[in-house]
Structure 1
Amino acid sequence: MGVKMGRRSFIGFVSAAAAAGLVPGTLSRAFAAGTGALPMGEKKPFSFEGVLGWAREQAKKPYQAPEISDALKNVLSRIDYDAYQQIKFDTEKSLWRNTDGVPPVAPFHQNRGTMEKVRIYTVSDGQAREVQYDPSAFDYKGDIKAADMPEDAGWGGFRLLYDNDPSRDWLAFLGASYFRSAGPQDQYGLSARAVAVNTALHDKTEEFPRFTEFWLEPTHDGGMHIYALLDSPSLTGAVQIACQKPNDRDIVMDVTVRFFTRQAVRRLGVAPLTSMFWFSEINRDEAVDWRPEIHDNDGLAIWTGSGERLWRPLDNPKHTRTSSFVDQSPKGFGLMQRDRNFANYEDDGVFYDRRPSLWIEPKGDWQKGMVQLLEIPTDDEIHDNIVAYWTTDEEVPAGEERAFQYRMHWMGDGLFGDVKVGHAIATRTGRAGVPGQKRPDKGLKYAIDFAGGDLANYTTEQKTVVPDVSASNAAIQNAYCLRVVGQDYWRLVFDIFPDGNGPVNLRAALKEGDRLLTESWVFEHREHQF
């Protein structure tokens, strides 16, 4: 996404459908020749309450899919990844270019993955003006030319640029309800969505609601308020995202969402995150690439309502797997990238060591529900195969409304908040047994490294730090822990032997007496072949 758009943009951004806009305006060609700016529509009153009203009323009406002409389909079907790289927006025509305290905005061109156009408006003093589509704002260097774009073409999305460097962008919206930030280390990775509908149901197809219209209102202190409409066969929605000015620590966005159901929704996923995990040290035995690790994020972190910290390493399973973490009033969750060592990736092209973590901080009481993690098998880095979201897993009947508020933190490290306990920094697996002795035919060894908290104040010789390991449907043997010689981190090691009676769910931590010294490491065991 952004200037260096990855191939996964065409895979992950599956569109559903669009609808008529709240603030209608002509979409006819209106070229602002010689002005150096994009053509703008007439001023019309705007408020977020109006967006809410539109979403509420549209949910009472049958869904109408957008009409796309054959001429537009034919052109866009030719704009694959390589052709898309030949189409560049002229940043001299960016919205709010050279305006103090306002990030410039550059629209995206449509492509074969974003055939449904979006409408974009600017907002000032309660008045909205539509940014009318203008193909001449793009530089076409390939086979596709501006003259090829038919009358019903439009914008594909948009991105926010750095005001001091318009060649770089820090936030992008493109396709369905996906958006992503490059984070403080200026490298795109995982994506967020406004909502997930019927994800991970074996008897129902997942639905991808899409943003149909955006209203952009600068805060004039480096931030941007983004308002958007959602539409799909099952629901409509109104979204408000208050983006703060980027800083060296994180990029913060305050999100308000309201959903209105047209049809019953079996599973409503709130604050959904989408990422990629191929392999790391946890499944290195299955890697086929020369690079040591390839992933956007390496774990799911959860801060429960009771205050416990959980860490679930991500995995690339042999079969699609869903894990649920039931909670009451969660303090937060996120897909994190804790490993920041370049040597563990050795990729100076896409820089997995710089990929952002994304933490969701609920506002208000989300009550009882669960964080759900979906892991899908993948054989390449081009596929998004990880999804995490909050859900009650209760059906939302047709004609109902749901509202949520939360804060998003796009971060350059893998920890959120004042973490007072040790945290997992690596998980490795290998053959069970003792070196130098005959190894058992089955079983797996886990070695988990923990750092931080008070761990550096303890030594192995004190014998006060002990392993706390449990498992369902399995026996645990040879469990021990030690402080790694010459280091401030500790290692917990154990062998696991499943009994074949069901899934093996593991939990491990370091303790001193009854006091937890680390977060709880949790994992669903699977067999490896060595």
Structure 2
Amino acid sequence: MGLNRRSVLRGASLMAGFAALPFELRQAMAQDASARPFSYEALIARAQAAAGEAYKPAYQPRPDVVQKLDYEAWGKILFKTDRAPFSGQPGVQEPAGYPLEFFHLGQYFTKRVKMNLVLDGKSVEVPYDPNLFDMPADSPARQLPPDSGFAGFRFQEWHTSEDWRHQDWIAFLGASYFRAIGAAGQYGLSARGIVVNAALADKPEEFPDFTEFYIEEQSDPEAPVTVCALLDGPSVTGAYRFRIRRGLDRTKGIVMEIESQIFLRQDIERLGLMPMTSMFWYSEYGRDRMRDWRPEVHDSDGLEIWTGTGERLWRPLNNPTTIKVSSFLDENPHGFGLLQRDRNFDHYQDGVFYDRRPCLWIEPLEPLGRGSVQLLEIPTEDEIHDNIGAFWVPEGKAAKGNSYRLHYKLHWLNTEPYPAENIAQTVATRMGYGGEPGKTRPENQYRIAVEFDRPSVMTQIPYGVFPKVNVTTSAGRIIRTLAEPVPNGNVWRALFDVEITPDLFTELRLFLELDGKPLTETWTYQFSRDLEVFNE
């Protein structure tokens, strides 16, 4: 999971208008017979009907040519910003809003995705035209046929913003992937429309595609932008409606309200709903932290779950030596997300600003019922691969003919949108060998230190009082525990030694408590010797 990134109008007057740009969009649509009524409900009906039909792969024009558009060649193909719909540029005056730019096909984005604009309840397809792009004279893209289509799209900042020509804030590109910048103005992890059979030993993962987009007109920067999408894959179809709120105050991040209807063509062994995907190479712990000069490299450092019972769980991420899937059973969780809690630049020392990467939080707007939040961790030896996935798996068999209705929000922020006010959060996880300094280190004993911080909680601990370390292990045994304040700060550290044989792994759970009440969220971790820094 996550290692993969990614008719023509018959009305001559509108074809010429789009191809040439400038044009007046609403007038052109009113005059063109190919403009059709559009509604999200009709898109749902199309997805449901398609689920009863055989899958037809998306059109891939001239694969021999598209494969020549590698990362370097593709990066030289740039959409001409002055031709962006909704940009308010001369000749593109109506309507104006968040300018819309399209991505070209390339080696990693080989399938045509149809782009449609929706105004006054009618939709019309935007035909591909190479003249919409700046590209080198010798670019292989010039050999593509006229029906090639686009790979995806992105929105620029509001058309009156000074930086709109070079600052985008959301992008849909490749399979069912999409991503947005957070409150710090930086891209990082991605979301997906769906996950089908990720990390199974006996079958490959499927990557269904958003095959059509319907992008509605805009008039108010504070109102949500509405985008509908049609999903299609060998085992699944679906319809999605995104209401995406940006606003002129960029410090508020981006919030998406999403509705979707999903229909299964075939049985699916692992159906992942509301999925997100990220990158974790190493942190202040991890097996690869001596392979690179930077102290930490990751887009996200942990999974947080707000369970249906109200418990807050924090799971630090791993870069394992083999694929790992962890399942957190729950009923009607309040939310979950992959977060980047460490916001200290000195902990990364990298100009790509890992300290600014957004957190992504999922908030169900309708009860999910019983199921599990599943965390997928894949080995990686570089930062270029998304090796982390998190998604909801509903209880019961995902059988052919099943349908699923979802209504949820995605929050792209600097932190989770609903932090617990009365408990402290995990801010660091550290690991090493156990035992005592100056003595022979016992075999198979490992020390883990977990640090918690929230001034409103931790500063209320009376001087001379030490919280209890409540820690359990599913295998092996806990040898000793200790709680101590970290000097020069509000942080408290919980330490413990765990004894475990090299051939075992254990699920660890820990929190600090005082007078029988939890002071912190519950830290959870899947520990084994081969996962961490103990490889010889």
TM-score, normalising length: structure 1: 0.91
Q: How does 1:21-100 map to 2 (within 5 A)?
A: 25-26=9-10, 30-32=15-17, 35-36=21-22, 42-69=34-61, 72-98=62-88
Matched, 1:176 2:175: yes
8 Å Cα contact 1:283-1:428 kept in structure 2? no
8 Å Cα contact 1:101-1:221 kept in structure 2? no
Q: State the distance in 2 between where 1:466 and 1:116 align.
A: 56
8 Å Cα contact 2:282-2:288 kept in structure 1? no
Q: Deviations over 1:114-165 (max 9, x none)?
A: 1111111111221112112111010013631664221231111000110212
Matched, 1:478 2:480: yes
Extract unaligned runs of 5+ from structure 1.
Answer: 1-7, 15-20
Counterpart amino acid of residue 295 in structure 1: H
Matched, 1:428 2:418: no
8 Å Cα contact 2:176-2:192 kept in structure 1? yes
* Corresponding residue SS for 2:258: strand
Q: State the distance in 2 between where 1:131 and 1:207 align.
A: 28
8 Å Cα contact 1:257-1:403 kept in structure 2? yes
Matched, 1:328 2:335: no
Task: Give 2:388's match in structure 1, choosing from 386, 389, 412.
Answer: 386
Q: How does 1:210-225 map to 2 (within 5 A)?
A: 210-222=209-221, 223-225=224-226
Q: Deviations over 1:360-389 (max 9, x none)?
A: 001111011000001011100011110100
Structure 1 pair 524/213, CA: closer, same or farther in 2 (3 Å)?
same
- Name 1:307's counterpart in structure 2: 310
Matched, 1:438 2:470: no
Matched, 1:111 2:101: no
- Name 2:195's counterpart in structure 1: 196
- Name 1:186's counterpart in structure 2: 185
- Name 1:5's counterpart in structure 2: none
8 Å Cα contact 1:87-1:142 kept in structure 2? no
Q: How does 1:387-402 map to 2 (within 5 A)?
A: 387-392=389-394, 394-402=396-404
* Corresponding residue SS for 2:459: helix
Q: State the distance in 1 between where 2:16 and 2:108 align.
A: 26
Matched, 1:229 2:225: no
* Corresponding residue SS for 1:283: coil
Q: How does 1:264-279 map to 2 (within 5 A)?
A: 264-279=267-282
- Name 1:3's counterpart in structure 2: none
8 Å Cα contact 2:287-2:319 kept in structure 1? no
Q: State the distance in 2 between where 1:212 and 1:27 align.
A: 22
C-alpha displacement of 1:190: 0.6
Counterpart amino acid of residue 217 in structure 1: E
- Name 2:143's counterpart in structure 1: 148
Q: State the distance in 1 between where 2:290 and 2:377 align.
A: 17
Q: State the distance in 2 between where 1:143 and 1:279 align.
A: 41
C-alpha displacement of 1:188: 1.1
C-alpha displacement of 1:416: 3.7
- Name 1:127's counterpart in structure 2: 122
Q: How does 1:236-255 map to 2 (within 5 A)?
A: 236-246=237-247, 247-255=250-258
* Corresponding residue SS for 1:113: coil
8 Å Cα contact 2:287-2:535 kept in structure 1? no
- Name 1:18's counterpart in structure 2: none
Counterpart amino acid of residue 174 in structure 1: L
Q: State the distance in 1 between where 2:288 and 2:236 align.
A: 43
- Name 1:351's counterpart in structure 2: 353
8 Å Cα contact 1:234-1:263 kept in structure 2? yes
Structure 1 pair 380/27, CA: closer, same or farther in 2 (3 Å)?
farther
Structure 1 pair 411/252, CA: closer, same or farther in 2 (3 Å)?
same
- Name 2:5's counterpart in structure 1: 13
Q: State the distance in 2 between where 1:488 and 1:125 align.
A: 56
Counterpart amino acid of residue 115 in structure 1: T
Q: State the distance in 2 between where 1:509 and 1:357 align.
A: 23
Structure 1 pair 145/299, CA: closer, same or farther in 2 (3 Å)?
same
Counterpart amino acid of residue 122 in structure 2: Q
Structure 1 vs Structure 2: percent identity of aligned residues? 40
C-alpha displacement of 1:34: 5.4
Structure 1 pair 516/108, CA: closer, same or farther in 2 (3 Å)?
same
Structure 1 pair 235/402, CA: closer, same or farther in 2 (3 Å)?
same
Q: State the distance in 1 between where 2:52 and 2:307 align.
A: 37
- Between stretches 336-345 and 259-268, larger displacement belongs to 259-268
Paired residues, number? 510
Q: State the distance in 2 between where 1:519 and 1:101 align.
A: 46
Q: Deviations over 1:198-241 (max 9, x none)?
A: 12222222111100000011342223101000001111100011
Q: State the distance in 1 between where 2:60 and 2:217 align.
A: 32
Q: State the distance in 2 between where 1:46 and 1:149 align.
A: 30
8 Å Cα contact 1:138-1:146 kept in structure 2? no
C-alpha displacement of 1:460: 5.5
Structure 1 pair 432/450, CA: closer, same or farther in 2 (3 Å)?
same
C-alpha displacement of 1:502: 4.5
* Corresponding residue SS for 1:462: coil
C-alpha displacement of 1:285: 6.3
Counterpart amino acid of residue 225 in structure 1: T
Extract unaligned runs of 5+ from structure 2.
Answer: none
8 Å Cα contact 2:227-2:243 kept in structure 1? yes
* Corresponding residue SS for 2:72: helix
Q: How does 1:401-480 map to 2 (within 5 A)?
A: 401-413=403-415, 416-452=418-454, 453-459=456-462, 461-463=464-466, 465-480=467-482
Q: State the distance in 2 between where 1:374 and 1:205 align.
A: 15
- Name 1:295's counterpart in structure 2: 298
Counterpart amino acid of residue 74 in structure 1: D
8 Å Cα contact 2:69-2:141 kept in structure 1? no
Structure 1 pair 415/50, CA: closer, same or farther in 2 (3 Å)?
closer
Structure 1 pair 285/147, CA: closer, same or farther in 2 (3 Å)?
closer
- Between stretches 119-128 and 141-150, larger displacement belongs to 141-150
Q: State the distance in 2 between where 1:229 and 1:148 align.
A: 28
8 Å Cα contact 1:470-1:476 kept in structure 2? yes
C-alpha displacement of 1:275: 0.6
* Corresponding residue SS for 1:420: coil
Task: Give 2:527's match in structure 1, choosing from 520, 525, 528.
Answer: 525
TM-score, normalising length: structure 2: 0.90
8 Å Cα contact 1:86-1:142 kept in structure 2? no
Matched, 1:492 2:478: no
Counterpart amino acid of residue 340 in structure 1: R
- Name 1:4's counterpart in structure 2: none
Q: State the distance in 1 between where 2:477 and 2:96 align.
A: 60
* Corresponding residue SS for 2:407: strand
C-alpha displacement of 1:287: 3.1
- Name 2:511's counterpart in structure 1: 509
